[in-house]
Amino acid sequence: MQHFSRLLLISLLFSWFQSTAQHFVLYGERNLNDTILSVYFDRNGKPYPDYFIADSVLNFNTGSLDSFYNSYPNDFSAICSLYKCRFNKYSISNTSILNDSIFQTIADKINNQTKEGLVPTFMIHGFRKSYVNKPGVFTSVIDYNLLIAAINRLSTEKYSYIRVFWDGSYLDISEGVKQMKQIFTVFEKAQLNAVSVGYGLRQVLSRTTSPEVNIISHSLGAKVVTNALFDTTINNYPTPNNRNINICLIAPAIDGIEAFKNYYSRNSTLAYKKSDNYSLFVLYNKKDFVLRKKDYFFELFGPGPRKHGNTTLGCNSNNEAIKLKDYFIQHFHGSKITLINMTDLIEKCHHLRCYCEGDNLKTAIQLMKHTITNSNGNKILNK
């Protein structure tokens, strides 16, 4: 009987593992010698250390670094030693100190690379982006390469690119209807991850010392950005004090006014309500079938942009983008918001690769480049 119980437990664990493994996007087996600046977050917004961790082990620990640290004390001790922490036993407080050391190490790398005047440019991918190459799949790595190439092609400025990799959940829908039915549930989980990752990213952004910073997100990456840059009602980590921060949200999979009601809730030493150091750029597409949550061909089937996570801003549903701009004018007098209508250029496409084609990003990049601060510290826009 005891043997049967063990077999049953193993069977249940295996079934659970099989059913959940596909939802996690893991970075434990990444190339630790990669020369491109990158920061990696687990689903709880905790930073990956520069240490090999088998993805199978992370999967078994539900994609959580905290769970891994608790389950593997020898590895936790080795990682603590790597980051010069004076402890080797797992605890919540020790893990917090370790994470702070990892964040500082990442920020130091960014600051060292941007001393030459390069503008740090953070790139944040969206939902369901695989990190590992799969046939016919545009991974987050491929998307970032396309974005970097587009920016370099359309601008003469010099940038220091920082790739932000986060667990935006992954579900393979190549097998058809069965997987499609799950996608909205997985999307809801990814939204929760985006909030936590935003808090983690804030701890990197707030330590970035360059006077100019660019932040470019795609799709659900916008939710990471909004939680990183403002709304300290839940998490009061310092928000960045850099002189100019350009925030470019490409096809943002978020709502409009509701997402920005706490735009002025920041932990900052700047007089941002008088002259904001944030400049917001929203690239929307009224035909985006993914954000509209409608079928591609007939546009009749699907829950619509307000169910399973509000995505109205990126597709300007019921003029949500226009309403957001009006809201800024009424409530955020010292702040600038620029709307860029991409509908005629992009058509129904939601993928980042469509935005990176040709001159599609030219307007956004040119406007971001000409956002400067005058001698009085006020933002002006050269056109």
On the question of pLDDT at 13 being above 50, the answer is no
Write out pLDDT tens, residues 323-371: 999 999 999 999 999 999 999 999 999 999 999 999 999 999 999 986 6
For the chain, the average pLDDT equals 90
DSSP string computed for 255-306: -SHHHHTTTT----SS-TTTS-SEEEEEEE-TT-HHHHT--TTTS--S--TT
- Least confident piece of the model among 16-30, 98-112, 243-257, 365-379: 365-379
* pLDDT reported for residue 319: 98
Percent of the chain with pLDDT over 90: 81
- Helices in the chain by DSSP H: which ranges? 2-21, 55-60, 65-71, 73-82, 92-113, 140-154, 177-205, 221-229, 257-260, 289-292, 312-315, 320-331, 343-346, 352-355, 362-369
Write out pLDDT tens, residues 137-172: 999 999 999 999 999 999 999 999 999 999 999 998
On the question of pLDDT at 85 being above 60, the answer is yes
Q: Using 50, 70 and 90 to split pLDDT, how confident is the model at 374?
A: very low
Write out pLDDT tens, residues 249-288: 999 999 999 999 999 999 999 999 999 999 999 999 999 9
Write out pLDDT tens, residues 181-232: 789 999 999 999 999 999 999 999 999 999 999 999 999 999 999 999 999 9
Q: Which distant-in-sequence residues (6+ apart) come within 8 Å of 236 by Cβ? A: 267
* pLDDT reported for residue 16: 40
* pLDDT reported for residue 164: 98
